[in-house]
Structure formats: structure tokens, C-alpha cells
């Protein structure tokens, strides 16, 4: 299933050439505005060291389909003790408003199912673009996260048909 090629994006495993643009994206405060969790505040040096990357679905590259340049990341965050996996997408500024997320979310849901996982998404309530995307793709708002962690108050979405 990977790599996956579309008119507007290629989804593939990270490659060594992606490390610098990956580090730039991970240190871009605006790009990571709605991203939480343990890697929100990594420094550039930590990210480069972190990139002892082994191909995995937890971190995939999003690349321009013509030039194969890295423009973002996506993948899965497995939920401890369950068969659920949270999908995530982060795009560089220049890659936004090109329909990339609308292309990638269904692919991630399909890939999760093929791995025996149940796809879901957790969205910051202030992230209007992601909330609109989930609704446009037919994902259903299931509830609000009430755990005492960085996702408290975030909205949980699931595909209409699991």
C-alpha cells in the first residue's frame, strides 16, 4: 500500500533527504500550532538526532508528487491497550489548501484497517480547518476527551463506517 501516489501528494516512508525539511517543520511554531504531546517543543538538533528512523506507519512522509520534496508528515499514534490508532497530519505552510489532507485521511483510515487497527482522530476544538475536514469526509464527532492530559477538551472523531 506504500508508497501511495496521488495527483496532489505522495505518501511514503521517510528518506534521508527528508531529515532537514522534517526538522524545519517540527520547529515551525505556526505549523505545529495544534499539535500537542511529547514532541511539540523539540529543538532542531534533537530532531536530527531523533531521526534514527526505521520505516514505520507511525511516521510517514508527505511529498510533492512532481519533485518528491518533503512537505509534511502523517501516520498513526497507537492508543495504549486498545486496537485504536489516532491518525495525524502536519503540513508545511506551502502545502496547505491543496486538498492534501482530504486525500491522505481516507488513505490512513484504509491503511489502519488493513493493519487490524480502528482509525480515529483527536482534533483541537480551535482547529477549525481540521474540524471542517473531518466533517467534509463524513467522520462523526464522538465526544470530548476528558483525560487529564494535553488532549483534554479535544474532539474525538471516527469514520462514519468503521
Are 3 and 12 within 8 A, CB to CB? Answer: yes
Please enumerate, as own/partner, the contacts of 23-29 that have beta carbons within 8 Å and a separation of 24 or more.
23/47, 23/48, 23/51, 24/92, 25/70, 25/72, 25/73, 25/90, 25/92, 28/92, 28/93
Are 23 and 14 within 8 A, CB to CB? Answer: no
Report the pLDDT value the prediction gives residue 37, as an integer from 0 to 100.
53
For 32-47, write each residue's pLDDT tens digit.
888 765 455 566 665 6
For 57-70, write each residue's pLDDT tens digit.
988 999 999 999 99
Q: pTM of the entire structure?
A: 0.88
- Does domain 4-121 correspond to CATH entry 3.40.30.10? no
Domain boundaries, the chain: 4-121
Amino acid at each position: 500500500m506504500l508508497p501511495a501516489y496521488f495527483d496532489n501528494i505522495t505518501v511514503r516512508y521517510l528518506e534521508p533527504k527528508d531529515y532537514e525539511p522534517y526538522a524545519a517543520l517540527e520547529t515551525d511554531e505556526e505549523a505545529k500550532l495544534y499539535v500537542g504531546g511529547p514532541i511539540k517543543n523539540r529543538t532542531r538538533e534533537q530532531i536530527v538526532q531523533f531521526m534514527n528512523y526505521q520505516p514505520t506507519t507511525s511516521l510517514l512522509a508527505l511529498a510533492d508528487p512532481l519533485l518528491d520534496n518533503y512537505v509534511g508528515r502523517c501516520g498513526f499514534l497507537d492508543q495504549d491497550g486498545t486496537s485504536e490508532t489516532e491518525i495525524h497530519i502536519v503540513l508545511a505552510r506551502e502545502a496547505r489548501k491543496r486538498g492534501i489532507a482530504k486525500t491522505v485521511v481516507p488513505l490512513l483510515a484504509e491503511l489502519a484497517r488493513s493493519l487490524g487497527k480502528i482509525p480515529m482522530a483527536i482534533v483541537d476544538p480551535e482547529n477549525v480547518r481540521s474540524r471542517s475536514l473531518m466533517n467534509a469526509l463524513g467522520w462523526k464527532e464522538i465526544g470530548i476527551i476528558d483525560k487529564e492530559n494535553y488532549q483534554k477538551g479535544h474532539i474525538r472523531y471516527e469514520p462514519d463506517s468503521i
